[in-house]
Amino acid sequence: MTDLTELGVAAIRDGVAKGDFTAVEVAEAFNANVAAAQAALNAFIVATPEKAIAAAKATDAKRAKGEALGKMGGVPIGMKDLFATKGVQTTAASHILEGFTPEYESTVSQKLWDAGAGMLGKLNLDQFAMGSSNETSYFGNVISPWRRKDGGNAALAPGGSSGGSSAAVSARLAPAATGTDTGGSIRQPAAFVGISGIKPTYGRCSRWGIVAFASSLDQAGPMARDVRDCAIMLEAMAGFDPKDSTSLDMPVPAWEAGLSGDMKGKKVGIPREYRMDGMDADVAASWDAGIAWLKDAGAEIVDISLPHTKYALPAYYIIAPAEASSNLARYDGVRYGLRDLPDGAGLQDMYAATRAAGFGAEVKRRS
């Protein structure tokens, strides 16, 4: 039999639907990979093999009855530990939320379960999604499954903040995973390990039930082996949610059906500011190769200017820390999570002690 863990979302979905293999067989194969690689990669904070098997059994039962299996029918996935999952610890990779078990499900995760997906576990990340190398997690660094091309054995970063997601998909621990992107936290880790990731238009995926970093920038998105798999997953994740005031009330397009390699009639703008002096030769070569691929597909390449890009990072560092400080204010030791209450301490002392003990250095820096 084909190694099921080498299959992506589309291949698993279609194979289960046709009866080439069962959803339970798929879940068992990925559960085994998760367990075998945890010590080496630290991609998961919590593994939930029983959740993956339960969802797989439900999918196989539906197929036996001739019922529709859903867009993600039979596909087990990893869930970034920023999404609230009912009955399963949700920590945002922070000590301050260690042991917190939500009594509710995030909208995105619920949509994926409704579409037939199962959960392999909660994936590691930079604490509160603050970081770009997955080195700020309270639960330890995530390690990339890739190794240096010069033969060196030094551990490599899988990018961040969705480093657990990128490492899990790249290492064949999951065919796909959820990520969140505030300033690149899906796109950068996907690039680091050679998979695909999409930050959708703001509002396409509900933010309800996602631990907030910067509310006007955060967006959930898919991470998978290729663009088709991301399109399938995004169709399942997206949609209007009345519980999120910024949710887009628009129909979800059939992205998978619309995939095509034909770019004829399309114009692609290439910002001249991105081709900067001193660009690394390998990066420049990749840039040129991408332009050549677009031309070969029939696209018209147009030289454009984005003169205000120099303000992007300063603007980010005004908006993101300000919103993070507001969002982090809810972690005070009163209602849930860690409480540090020194003898004789007052309320303000408890706030300060709890945050000092619960937040990591990067979270303190950004807030």
Q: Is 243 annotated in the active site?
A: no
Residue 267 appears among annotated catalytic residues: no
Q: How many CB atoms lie within 10 A of CB 40?
A: 12
Q: Which is the catalytic residue, given 109, 185, 196, 247?
A: 185
∠ CA(10), CA(15), CA(21), 5° rounding? 140
Catalytic residue among 144, 161, 170, 367: 161
Examine residue 161 and say whether the peptide bond preceding it is cis (omega within 30 degrees of 0).
yes
Query: Angle 309-314-317 (CA atoms, 0-180°, nearest 5)?
Result: 130
What's the token pair of residue 334?
A: 């009163």
Q: Active site residue: 51, 71, 80, 199, which one? A: 80
Q: What is d(CA 265, CA 60) in angstroms, rounded to the nearest whole number?
A: 44
267-271 and 300-304 beta bridge pairing? parallel
| Annotation marks residue 80 as catalytic | yes
Residue with tokens 């080439």: 20
Do 224 and 205 meet the contact criterion of CB atoms below 8 Å apart?
Answer: no
Q: How far apart are CA 158 and CA 217, in angstroms?
A: 22
| Catalytic positions, written as ranges | 80, 161, 185
